[in-house]
Structure 1
Amino acid sequence: MKILRNTIPVSDVYNLMKSGELTINRSYQRGKGLWPNNARSYFIDTILNDFPFPKVVLRQVVDLKTKKSKREIIDGQQRLTTIRDFIENKFKLTSVSKKYAGMSYEDLPEEVSAALLSYEISIDNIVTATTEEILEIFRRINSYTLPLNTSEKRHATFQGKFKWFISNLTEYVTPFFENYKTLSLREISRMMDADLITECCQLCIDGVQNRGASKLDNIYKENDESFDLEEEIYEKVISSFNFIKDNLTEVFDSCKVPSYIFYSLMGALIYNKYGLPDAKNDFQDLEPSGSFANEVNQVRDELIRMFSEAEEKDEDGKYLNFVKASIATTHSYKNRLMRIQTIVSVLQN
């Protein structure tokens, strides 16, 4: 068995598929049609923005009847058929492509379509290999990756409105998480940022909840085909986050703000400005003020003190209840509510 590693432009791959010189071997490929339009659009958008994607694996064989060489796709069927279908104007890009939404291949500016055709695809071309060796390669390709966690499974399962809404929000917010170590790079790579943003949206939909994978799955499921609250939730989440970014970065510079405290801060800001569903019994005397904070400088100082006490597990400080709610079972409803209530009281002075 010999493997030739090189790159091939999209134009060459397309012409190989069109001529029948590059085919799909159904013996070790999954059925076609697995990618919905949003996923196909996101993949084409990846190429249009010159981002890399995983290499494609081909097998080169000789047809004894025609005495011609041809190639079979071992790994990369969905990627290559999506490229072919787009070039043949079989689908238009959805809103997940920010620059080219609504465009088919023929609608692209000339320089963009030229760049698409010249994009280099990384290829492993396997020659002189037996069918047994090819099947072993395919098995190994599918065994290298880590098992999907619940976040990754959720984003692989749902391809509708809410999934791409969260994808756009994470693109905007995640650099902040990375910069201030709210989430580690490993956590971000395993889509914990998407989980955190989803839970912030959940606050607007269902109010304060204990963490539960099934609850998040339901939000994706219920808003997969249509998402009527999209504009409202976008406004609440983004404006609350922007308030943090514009006014409270000193808090993040001064002390560690882990994801469960970020969730609590977002919950408090959303509640104080907009209110939360079914929150009357939860907050009682703490009515929403209609603004994010009354005295920003004072709020900033108090949050630094509160979060520092939590980081140091200081049970002799001013914010004992907040500290206790930050030590264990940080994602329980009781402790989440306690932290949010305490931050709201600071926002309202």
Structure 2
Amino acid sequence: MPVSSDLQQYTVADFMEWDEKKQLLLNPEFQRGSVWPPAARTYLIDTILRRLPVPKIYVRTKVDLQTKRSFREVVDGQQRLRAILDFGNDRFALGPRAQEWAGKRYSDLDPVEQERFLAYSIATDQLINASDADVLEVFSRLNSYTVPVNPPELRHAKFQGEFKWSVHEMAAEWTELWETYRVIGARDAVRLLSDSLVAEMYGIVLEGVRDGGQPKITKLYERVDKEFQRDPTEAIVNKSLRYIVDHFDDVLKQTTLSNAPHFLMLFAATAHALIGIPQGELPNRPDPGPPADPEVVRPALFEISAVLEAEEPPTGANRFKSASASSTQRIASRLVRFPVYLSAVQGRPLPW
């Protein structure tokens, strides 16, 4: 008999009642055990308290014809429900990511907030009396329509330390980069490629100009995620981005320097001029700062853009143009390109 799927809206209070009555099974074979770290659990509860959407849950509903009772096995969404039930039963306090609710348990919320939590609706797809084979078939079909998860999305799911959250919040704060200057397109920003670019900016501030690419970004997360100190890095990134946007708005709007690979090198040069970044994989660390008068820098940036767009660049600029058109994530390309942007930002002659 074909499996029946029934989409319903159930409240947090419904799930808590089923759990109390032993009518909710959170650990069937389809799901892993509870592995969410505290930061992820806090973020979910904060999302609920702010009435923001969460992904729907899939349950297999079985009806016992003798007892006339129904039982629900969670086949997708176990960790979300476990966090919700644990919070509703006062089993953990919210972490700092919950801002005004940090340190609070369910019992510490005021009555209005408790009602908001209990009344929150969760979209739930019920698979009625489905066999194991039916459930696997459903998920096979779902996955056939799903866009494969990309590396930034995988990192966002895997890492829950301060580095991941700082990068994610910085990307959300600098929406003008994605919306006004299109450094990362809106569709790619939704898929967290903006997080990738911001993570590379953090990497430049922390470790200098190095080899790039998604595997290298993941290694950066692995090195610094849990012990990351937010304040100094966030301050440098914000200062550098604000300097670029405030002084070179016209350059970003009128040239290709708003493209992510070029923008990243402009960011690196600006950060080095303003603050000084580590040597990274450069053979020598150039002297930091100060930036030249923006009225001097702006024509140099327009000239760099003209080289990038020229079919026949000026004598001496071929190496820079070639490096800018090749694999821009590789250190071989960045070793050529970074000094050119730094010369422009510091007001020195371009090397052609």
Identify the TM-score tier after normalising by the shorter chain: 0.7 to 0.9
Aligned residue in 1 for 2:308: 310
Cα pair distance change 1:279/1:162, threshold 3 Å: closer
For 1:216-295, list aligned pairs within 5 A. 216-227=217-228, 229-256=229-256, 257-278=258-279, 282=283, 286-289=286-289, 291=290, 293-295=291-293
Unaligned runs of 5+ in 2: 348-352
The CA deviation string for residues 133-167 of structure 1, in whole angstroms up to 9 with x for no partner, is: 23322444455433333333333332222222212
For 1:134-173, list aligned pairs within 5 A. 134-142=135-143, 144-173=145-174
For 1:16-31, list aligned pairs within 5 A. 16-24=18-26, 26-28=28-30, 30-31=31-32
The CA distance in 1 between the partners of 2:308 and 2:243, in whole Å, is 22
Aligned residue in 1 for 2:116: 115
> What is the deviation of 1:312?
4.4
The CA distance in 1 between the partners of 2:112 and 2:298, in whole Å, is 49
> What is the deviation of 1:232?
1.7
Task: Give the counterpart letter for 1:338 in structure 2.
Answer: V
The CA deviation string for residues 13-57 of structure 1, in whole angstroms up to 9 with x for no partner, is: 2222222222235132x2321211111112222222222122112
Q: Give the 3-state SS of the residue equivalent to 1:58 in structure 2.
A: strand
Cα pair distance change 1:143/1:41, threshold 3 Å: farther
**What's the TM-score, normalizing by structure 2?**
0.87
> What is the deviation of 1:318?
9.2
Cα pair distance change 1:78/1:67, threshold 3 Å: same
Identity %: 31
Aligned residue in 2 for 1:33: 34
Q: Give the 3-state SS of the residue equivalent to 2:58 in structure 1.
A: strand
Aligned residue in 2 for 1:208: 209
> What is the deviation of 1:270?
0.8
Aligned residue in 1 for 2:296: 298
The CA deviation string for residues 309-342 of structure 1, in whole angstroms up to 9 with x for no partner, is: 3244551389655433312222222322332212
For 1:7-18, list aligned pairs within 5 A. 7-18=9-20
Aligned residue in 1 for 2:350: none
- 2:344 is equivalent to residue 341 of structure 1: no
Q: Give the 3-state SS of the residue equivalent to 2:325 in structure 1.
A: coil
Q: Give RMSD over aligned pairs.
A: 2.6
The CA distance in 2 between the partners of 1:139 and 1:26, in whole Å, is 18
> What is the deviation of 1:128?
4.5
Task: Give the counterpart letter for 1:332 in structure 2.
Answer: R
The CA distance in 1 between the partners of 2:238 and 2:41, in whole Å, is 27
- Range moving further from structure 2, 252-261 or 119-128: 119-128
Contact 2:27–2:33 under 8 Å retained in 1: no
Task: Give the counterpart letter for 1:150 in structure 2.
Answer: P
Aligned residue in 1 for 2:54: 53
Q: Give the 3-state SS of the residue equivalent to 1:325 in structure 2.
A: helix
The CA distance in 1 between the partners of 2:126 and 2:346, in whole Å, is 64
Task: Give the counterpart letter for 1:215 in structure 2.
Answer: K
> What is the deviation of 1:61?
1.9
The CA deviation string for residues 205-228 of structure 1, in whole angstroms up to 9 with x for no partner, is: 22111214443233222223322x
Contact 1:24–1:72 under 8 Å retained in 2: yes
Cα pair distance change 1:174/1:312, threshold 3 Å: farther
Cα pair distance change 1:307/1:188, threshold 3 Å: same
Contact 2:247–2:294 under 8 Å retained in 1: yes
Task: Give the counterpart letter for 1:288 in structure 2.
Answer: P
Task: Give the counterpart letter for 2:125 in structure 1.
Answer: D
The CA distance in 2 between the partners of 1:281 and 1:107, in whole Å, is 53
Cα pair distance change 1:215/1:279, threshold 3 Å: closer
